[in-house]
Each structure stands twice: as structure tokens, then as C-alpha cells.
Amino acid sequence: MRPVMLTVILVCSALAAAQHADDAGARQSIMALEHAWDQALEAADVKALSAIFDNSLIYIDYDGRLLTKAEYLLRVKSNDTHLQQIVTEEMDVQVFGTTAIVVGRYKVKGIENGKAYLRHGRFTDTWILSGKNWICVAASTTPILR
């Protein structure tokens, strides 16, 4: 009985270690995608953003507006809004199999409708593994009032 129990414990430990390694790799990939998202926003690169988002993306903006992928990309392209800098100040990625949740804090400055702004906020992004690629399916931002 003991050799069987020892074998079960070793197999479970090996599986847990493999899962932890997979989760670490997923976290690293998703963090890289989050940073690529920031860079694409600064450059107003809608092609790069489009590749990051699922076509069914639901985005809740800092002011509570619900945006589709097309609406979000149109807003990024808009001449009314010019994002100058976005800084992710903290980020935590939790992986649950083929789903990951990212929670973080950011600071963004830019010009909107001719007026300069500086906003601080929190974000929550939901990613799913589609084939071999992670893709964002939902995102929301919440202002931090100072």
C-alpha cells in the first residue's frame, strides 16, 4: 500500500509542478500582451490592438460606457482623443486553466477634446487561451479619484 501511495503523491506533485510552470509561462505571456496593449494605445496602433482583442470584446470604459471592439478601436483612432502616455503601475495575473484575470493600476495622460487630462485608475482584463494564443475578451477600467 505504501509504494502505491508514494507513487500517487509523486505523480500529483509532478502534475502540480507542471501546472505551476504552465501558469508562470501564461502569466509572462499575458503580461507581455498587457504591455503591448499600452504601447499600441500610445501609438494609436489599431491593427496591433485588433490582434490582441477577440471580436466579441466587451470593454467598460472609465466613464461607464460599454464599448464593442469596433467602438473601442474607433475611439483610439479618433482625433478627439490623443493619449500621450500610459503607465501600468502594478499588475497581477491569475491563471485558471484556459482563462486568466489581470487586475492592475494605471496612470494615463493625454488630450481629449482639446483639454489635457491625467487619470489614475484600476483595470480588470479577462483573457482566454484560443488555440495557442491568449486573447482579451473583456476589459474594464475604474477611475481612482484623488
Percentage of residues in the chain having pLDDT higher than 70 = 85
What pLDDT, in 10s, does the model give residues 22-74? 788 999 999 999 999 999 999 999 999 999 999 999 999 988 999 999 999 99
CATH of the domain at 127: 3.10.450.50
Q: pTM of the predicted model, to two decimals? A: 0.82
Nearest to 125 by CA among 67, 65, 63, 59: 59
Instruction: Write out the residue range of the structural domain in which residue 132 sits.
Output: 2-143
32 contact partners, CB below 8 Å, separation of at least 6? none
Phi, psi of 76 (to 5 degrees): -65, -40
| Structural domains counted in the chain | 1
